[in-house]
Structure 1
Amino acid sequence: MRERLLYLLKHCSNLNHVETAHGFMVRTALHHDKLLLSQFIETCSSLGFSAYAHSVFSVNSQSHPHIYVFNTMIKGMTLCNSAFEALLVYKSIGRVGLRPDCYSFPFALKAVVDLRAMSLGTQIHSQAICAGLESNVHVVSALIQMYSSCARISDARKVFDEMPLASVCSDDVVVWMAMIAGYVKVGDPDTAMDLLSRMPRTQTDGAVLITWTSVIAGYAQMDRPDEAIAVFRKMQLENVVPDEIAMLAVLSACAQLGAFHIRLGECIHGYVKKRGYDQMVTLKNALIEMYSNSGNISNALHVFVNMTRRTVISWTTIISALAFHGLGTQALDMFSRMEMAQVKPNDITFIAVLSACAHVGLVDLGRYYFHAMKYRYGIQHEIQHYGCMIDLLGRAG
């Protein structure tokens, strides 16, 4: 009975299913079962029925309190973007005679990040110390993430440095990953790379790859593509096999460098095909941008034409590429194809379209698209669109 109900809860897809499952739980006196109640809360949260989950939780939390259920409720509220309510649930743990555990603190700290409630975060830090969990890897990782997200990287580093990393194990790596990601988040990829070079190497290949990728992305985001590519090469020397996310990060760096690293970009394109990533839309978009910035518009078009699925970013990238290379007529033709494909343009698309109009001197068409933005597509004009119109009128005399 219990197993069947668990299965039912995991496969609910609408409110009717949830209400039916809840009614069955009450009729069979299983609504106090901590595992079933937690699964019920998790299901409601994932479907967006957080208020329903909280009402059922409130009834049961007083008469049959269990920390596992409280943790699930905090996590569920956080996932539903109800961080304030999540912290209220966290605060109520002590009122029912329970103590937060190594899962309570990370869930509560995630809510702190969402609210940017730094003072509350330091209070929870103190409570974790009082609970004797200041060395627990899950709690330490959450604290580092909290301080980093609130731009308190020195406090995050203090937490990291005080963590006794006595043995090289996968749990230790979680803490290192959090600290490295923290430095990337605050725009300090150099320190992140320094930590990465000293991070314990374990069998957790996925964790190692994520960390390398975050450092590559960090350099690319700081407009330091040479360093991003250098890190990518070091990653290869350590026999860390890149995935599609790593490819995306290094392609971004190649795009910034343009023709200087076109051969590396081509090698990555070949690797993308070899690994079977060649139909991933985000990678295809990055390849279009990379080839365009490298001056190879024919390859950019080839990638676009062979896409089986295109998003607004795909269309915008190729329109921008054509306009950038002075192919205004082809860019406007591509925009017409985009409209026929019933893909709604965004504000960046219109920057490319207006730029294309400027390159071919089509003032009336440019005016038409400028007004169509607002009255046909409901997109508000930004300073860049006015700049494009000034450029269009200026070029036309």
Structure 2
Amino acid sequence: MHLLPFSASLQLPTNKRLAEQLISLLRHCSTLKHIEQTHGFMVTRGLDHDNFLLSRFIGACSSLGLSPYAYSVFTRKAEPDIYLYNTMIRALSFSQKPPKAAILLFNNIQSAGLRPDSYSYPFVLKAVIRLLATQTGRQIHCQTIGVGLDSDLHVVTALIQMYSSCGCGCISDARKLFDGVCLRIRDAIMWNAMVAGYAKLGDMENAQHLFDCMPERNVISWTAVISGYAQMNRPHQAIAILRRMQLENVEPDEITMLAALSACGHLGALELGEWIHSYIDKHELSRTVPLNNALIDMYAKSGNIKKALKVFENMKRKSIITWTTMISGLALHGLGREALELFSCMERARVKPNDVTFIAILSACSHAGLVQIGQSFFSNMRSRYGIEPKIEHFGCVIDLLGRAGYLQEARELLGQMPLEPNAAIWGSLLAAAYTHGDAVLGERALQHLIKLEPDNSGNYALLSNIYASCDRWKASRLMRTVMRDKGVRKMPGGSFIEVKNRVNEFIAGQTSHAQFDEIYEVLCNINGQLRLAEHLQRECDELLEHGQG
């Protein structure tokens, strides 16, 4: 976000000492009470008549989430200038409450005898993005053309961000706007906005192509592409871009590492994740709460739960995401009781759980087989915590009951659901039917899964195995035939191995690995040695038998 200009018409008040005192007070404000006291300091000394100082006050309110208070002060100002209008619009755009007020205030600028400038439009477009108000955005775009600001770098960038944030249907408008000015404006800011727009929508082919064509790149450009690949669950490409970034001597920042850690978590690349952790500490990058959360998530998903706990315990500030991530990590490692204890610690710390926290805690109960505790948490969601259960919560409890063998209870909860069960729920029931040998439930689950996941070979194979476990061999063979007749192909198996910070992927039947021939030769040698060892062992056994005879 670019800074507001220091307008020539704005001057500090004649009493410079009072102004400096006020600015110092604003820096130390951390609560509503502080803001109210500082406001009183301003009013009693007449400082609230100064637009510049009032804008600083509004900015302080906004940073503390007190935009409504700031707005009440703003409305009492007799003649706010455009600088003050811009500050208030920005505060409302970033407010936790719906930012419609920012757009209404923007519309009042001209009726106040003022003219929106190159800062007014980017700020109000932030509100448009949050509201996904595409039509309002188009109207504002028309206004920028009317006042001749449609070629301004910051305005064009904000318009591109607006169009690319309003869904796939508007990305072509963003690209048309970009293509119209990209030859005249070669600044990385605008190019980054277009690359990020494609990445946000998951169109990584266009994002990558545009990234490769950029006249100049900065750390934001690289981060946008890495984040895009990580969000699209394409971690290999994300890590490849990170390596390329290093080769071109571009230093990653905290946001880059946040995206890279997400990719490491997907791959289970512990060594690479540890290298990133070391890089963060060595280069003294800011250990923000989100970055620490990403480290916890990476370590948990990569198998080192002790390191995850160490990062968690060393954090001075923890958000609800921090607690939830750690609870999820413990659940993933089958440490259900430890996850429950951590949930109790979270409540003692007066951190209020959210719906994602309950997915984590119900999952922990499921992995640990804590049926009654899990059911208790589920029933308390609405009554005690005021959280309406979503389909994911129903899915967790059905999985909990199914794993523990409470199939009838799982069926009953399925019937009570106010939502249509999804593939994950039917899949967990199919798995429970396999574990406990319930062919009837397995058949019912597969009937729904065929509609929801017609190409998932695993579902057919699982029901075939259920029939086989019940000695229904004819039905088992028939299921394999049905699978073949429908053209459902079995997904090839795959595996990952991390060697020297590089994750290698192997898929059955594929020969695309760069070192395939060398690996195959080594495997043949190992196979030959195993056969020779087996032959020698057989000869030894025969000699022993002959000697004993």
Answer yes or no: same fold by TM over 0.5: yes
Please point out which of 211, 214, 226 is paired with 1:216.
Answer: 226
Shift of residue 328 of structure 1?
Answer: 3.5
Shift of residue 379 of structure 1?
Answer: 3.5
Shift of residue 19 of structure 1?
Answer: 4.3
SS of structure 2 residue aligned to 1:174: helix
Kindly indicate whether residue 79 of structure 2 is the aligned counterpart of residue 60 of structure 1.
yes
Shift of residue 255 of structure 1?
Answer: 0.8
Please point out which of 32, 38, 48 is paired with 1:17.
Answer: 38
Aligned to 1:3: 16
Please point out which of 363, 369, 373 is paired with 1:365.
Answer: 373
Please point out which of 175, 194, 199 is paired with 1:184.
Answer: 199
Is the 2:100–2:127 contact (alpha carbons within 8 Å) kept by the matching residues of 1?
Answer: yes
Deviating beyond 6 angstroms after TM superposition, the runs of 4 or more aligned structure 1 residues are: none
Q: Find the structure with the greater CA-based Rg.
A: 2
Counterpart Cα distance in 2 of 1:305 and 1:72: 39
Shift of residue 43 of structure 1?
Answer: 5.5
Is the 2:71–2:88 contact (alpha carbons within 8 Å) kept by the matching residues of 1?
Answer: no
Please point out which of 267, 270, 273 is paired with 1:265.
Answer: 273
Identity %: 52
* Letter aligned with residue 183 of structure 1: Y
Q: Which runs of 5+ in 1 are unaligned?
A: 203-207
Counterpart Cα distance in 2 of 1:94 and 1:319: 52
Counterpart Cα distance in 1 of 2:160 and 2:341: 50
TM-score normalised over the length of structure 2: 0.60
Seen in structure 2, the aligned counterparts of structure 1 residues 304 and 41 have a Cα distance that, compared at 3 Å, is: closer
Shift of residue 209 of structure 1?
Answer: 1.4
Shift of residue 101 of structure 1?
Answer: 2.5
Note the alpha carbon deviations across 1:218-261, whole angstroms, 9 max, x for none.
Answer: 11111111111111111111111112221111110111122xx3
Q: RMSD value over aligned CA atoms?
A: 3.3
Seen in structure 2, the aligned counterparts of structure 1 residues 94 and 377 have a Cα distance that, compared at 3 Å, is: closer
Greater mean deviation of Cα atoms: 278-287 or 125-134? 278-287
Residue correspondence of structure 1 range 203-352 to structure 2 within 5 A: 208-258=218-268, 261-276=269-284, 280-307=288-315, 310-339=318-347, 343-352=351-360
Aligned to 1:102: 118
Q: In the comparison of the two structures, how many residue pairs are matched?
A: 378
* Letter aligned with residue 52 of structure 1: S
Counterpart Cα distance in 2 of 1:100 and 1:339: 48
Shift of residue 311 of structure 1?
Answer: 4.2
Q: Which runs of 5+ in 2 are unaligned?
A: 1-13, 27-33, 406-549
SS of structure 1 residue aligned to 2:388: coil
Counterpart Cα distance in 2 of 1:60 and 1:278: 41
Kindly indicate whether residue 184 of structure 2 is the aligned counterpart of residue 161 of structure 1.
no
Aligned to 2:127: 111
Greater mean deviation of Cα atoms: 38-47 or 218-227? 38-47
Counterpart Cα distance in 1 of 2:334 and 2:98: 49
Shift of residue 82 of structure 1?
Answer: 6.8
Seen in structure 2, the aligned counterparts of structure 1 residues 311 and 83 have a Cα distance that, compared at 3 Å, is: closer
SS of structure 1 residue aligned to 2:151: coil
Counterpart Cα distance in 2 of 1:90 and 1:337: 46
Seen in structure 2, the aligned counterparts of structure 1 residues 197 and 320 have a Cα distance that, compared at 3 Å, is: same
Greater share of residues in helix: 1
Counterpart Cα distance in 1 of 2:367 and 2:124: 54
Counterpart Cα distance in 1 of 2:232 and 2:313: 31
* Letter aligned with residue 255 of structure 1: G
Shift of residue 114 of structure 1?
Answer: 3.5
Shift of residue 344 of structure 1?
Answer: 4.2
Greater mean deviation of Cα atoms: 185-194 or 107-116? 107-116
Note the alpha carbon deviations across 1:72-107, whole angstroms, 9 max, x for none.
Answer: 443344344574443344334434544332223223
Is the 1:9–1:18 contact (alpha carbons within 8 Å) kept by the matching residues of 2?
Answer: no
* Letter aligned with residue 193 of structure 1: Q
Q: Which has the higher contact order (CA 8 A, sep 6+)?
A: 1
Is the 1:45–1:53 contact (alpha carbons within 8 Å) kept by the matching residues of 2?
Answer: no
TM-score normalised over the length of structure 1: 0.81
Note the alpha carbon deviations across 1:46-79, whole angstroms, 9 max, x for none.
Answer: 653234333234x325xxxx44344344334434
* Letter aligned with residue 173 of structure 2: D
